[in-house]
A and B are shown apart, each in its own frame.
Chain A
Amino acid sequence: MEINSFVIFIAAIFTSNILLTNFLGMCSYLSISKDMEASAGLGMAVFFVLTFTSGLNYLAYHYILVPLNLVYLQYIIFIIVIAAFVQLLELVIERFSPVLYYSLGIFLPLITVNCAIFGISLFMIIRNYTFIQSIAFGAGSGLGWLLAILALAGIRGKVREKMLPKGMNNAAISLIITGIMALAFIGFSGVVIIQ
């Protein structure tokens, strides 16, 4: 059955949030979320890169790897596409929009090793999405990631770290907050379902 691309887009943001249900992109999520502005910057960058790389990787997979029967090389090709795209994006942004470059610039190299980007490409191949569906899935997942990291940064800003039990600051408390957030997001499940 063909799923509407818009449904996939909404579902990727809420019901199957890439971070809260698939646990992708946790490393940078935990380390960056101390700072609201940095979280917003990284989130925007992830959204941007995800939207484009999911499309590019779709094309690379279906028009290069499948005809040449080289599907087992998909990991290497995806990594190269992502790294190359991030480099290119850095150059383009630096040339045309210095303001954007200064706000996103430092986050772009971090993105190459963000497992969310790579994971989305793999999910999209496994679930057999069409081109439009893949882009919708990428964009939705990026927005979902942005939403999750902003929410965590906001909550962490309110937590008074001195009041916490010993040893619970940083990673432990972030994980527990994320757990509660994930519980809240489960409330959305059943609204729309994609695999």
Chain B
Amino acid sequence: MKTKEILKQSIFTDNSICRQILGICSALAVTNLMMNSLVMGLGVIFTTALSSYTISLIRDYTPRSVRMMVQTLIIASYVIIIDIFLKAFFPDISRSLGPYVGLIITNCIVMGRAEAFAQKNKPFDSLIDGVGSGIGYMLVLLVIAFVRELFGFGSLFGFKILGDWWTPWSIMVMAPSAFFVLGLLIWYINYRSLPKQA
């Protein structure tokens, strides 16, 4: 497969969150601020890409019976790198993301790509596929965060966009709105991709 095709497929046509309903937990939890979503998205891109690459490199030497364990350990090592990096350079963001950085390990996207793609494909293709899935994930996160931060705080990336006349909808910062926004987004995307009836 060509690199471009893999990228396009993993970002849009097979978007992990909207099309395969994977990785919902963190998508909902960190999307009250754009900044958090961006960092989380970058973290997932890094993890999926490198863990897919590593898993694909050793795919011929891993016994089938223990492969889940091996995959989890590889993923966990990359997540530890991210965690330590964030703690050292961005302590504020690290604190507000809290345990959700660690939860990248159990993010179904990373595991799903490892199982579905990296097991069967060449290392370089897997790397591209991982980057693509991560970017797809980040795009959805940013869309949700855009809606929630704009209406909830009247700001984007912490900069005031809406003036003082705007009354923040505090519901947008709380849990239920995350469900509503993601639900409506998935509905819209499914609706758009339905086969057109003549």
Contact = CB atoms under 8 A, between A and B. Distances in A.
B186 A183 contact: no
A177 to B, nearest CB: 8
B25 A26 contact: yes
Interface of B: 21-26, 28-29, 68-69, 72-73, 76-77, 79-80, 83-84, 98-99, 102-103, 105-108, 111, 174-180, 182-184, 186-194
Given A118-B105, A119-B103, A180 B176 contact: yes
Given A27-B22, A114-B106, A122-B103, A172 B186 contact: yes
B191 A166 contact: yes
For the complex, would chain B's binding face be called helix, strand, loop or mixed by DSSP majority?
Answer: helix
A171 B182 CA distance: 10
Contact of B98 (A83, A126, A168): A126
Nearest to B107: A115
A179 B187 contact: no
Interface string A61-77: 00000000000111110
A115 B191 contact: no
Interface residues of A, number: 43
A35 B68 CA distance: 27
A7 interface: no
Given A21-B175, A75-B79, A76-B77, A176 B180 contact: yes
A30 B21 contact: yes
Nearest to A170: B21
Contacts of B105: 75, 79, 118
Contacts of B21: 27, 30-31, 170-171
A157 B158 CA distance: 42
Give the 8 A-B residue pairs with the shortest CB-CB distance, closest first.
A179-B179, A175-B183, A167-B190, A122-B99, A167-B191, A172-B187, A115-B106, A26-B24
